[in-house]
Amino acid sequence: MNNIDGFDFSKSSLPKLDFDTSAITRQFAQQQEAMNASLNAISEHNRKKDAALFETAEASVAQKELLKQQLVEVKEQNQFLKDNYTTLKELYEMTKKEAASSAKDAKVNRVFGWVSFSVGTLIGVAGVVVGIII
């Protein structure tokens, strides 16, 4: 395979090129450092963001638990208030009935008082009349 169409490649050589790649290597290293610094900054930002989100989530869970406890306490207080309202309503109804009964009793007592006064007056007048006649 050293011969193609009668041309012998075994004796031919390519010129040796000598390139100075140190400038390219330095530029590549600087770009690599800049990218690493940028990636580290992004990584640090994401770490701080994740930590803040985690703290926020923990605070949210704690607040949710606190709200649950407060809700239970508010429900208990509402039940106490409901019981107190029912008791006060019953007391009001009993007092209302007692007031109506007392008003009725007062009317009966007033009538009885007038009747007693009239009967007593009649007995007194009759006693005076009988005393004068006898």
Residue 126, in any domain of the structure: no
Instruction: Answer whether residue 26 is part of any domain.
Output: yes
Residue type, 70: Q
Confidence of residue 46 (pLDDT cuts 50, 70, 90): very high
**What is the residue range of 69's domain?**
21-102
For residue 74, the one-letter residue type is V
- Separation between Cα atoms, residue 99 and residue 113, nearest integer Å: 20
Residue 7 resides in a domain: no
Distance CA 75, CA 73 (A): 5
Confirm whether 78 is domain-assigned: yes
pLDDT digit string, tens, across residues 6-16: 666 666 666 66
CB 8 within 8 A of CB 2: yes
Residue 47 has pLDDT above 60, yes or no: yes
In this prediction, residues 64-80 reach a mean pLDDT of: 97
- List, in sequence order, every residue forming a beta bridge with 3; answer none if it has no partner: 8
Enter the pTM of the model: 0.45
- Statement: residue 74 has pLDDT above 70: yes
Provide φ and ψ at 4, rounded to 5°: -130, 120
Q: Report the domain count for the chain.
A: 1
Is residue 2 within 8 A of residue 9, CB to CB? The reply is: yes
Query: Which pLDDT belongs to residue 55?
Result: 95
pLDDT confidence band for 132 (50 / 70 / 90):
confident
The model's pLDDT over 93-124, given as tens digits with 9 standing for 90+, comes to 999 999 999 999 999 999 999 999 999 999 99
Domain contains 131: no
Does residue 120 form part of some domain? no
Per-state percent for the chain, helix, strand, coil, to nearest 5: 85, 5, 15
Tell whether 41 is covered by a domain.
yes
Percentage of the chain exceeding pLDDT 90: 72
Q: Are 6 and 13 in contact, with CB atoms under 8 Å apart?
A: no
Residue, of 14 and 90, whose pLDDT is higher: 90
| pLDDT value for 23 | 83
The answer to whether residue 114 sits within a structural domain is no
Distance, CA of 71 to CA of 63 (rounded, Å): 12
Among 20, 21, 40, CA closest to 32: 40
- Mean pLDDT for all residues in the chain: 88
Question: What is the C-alpha R_g of the chain?
Answer: 57
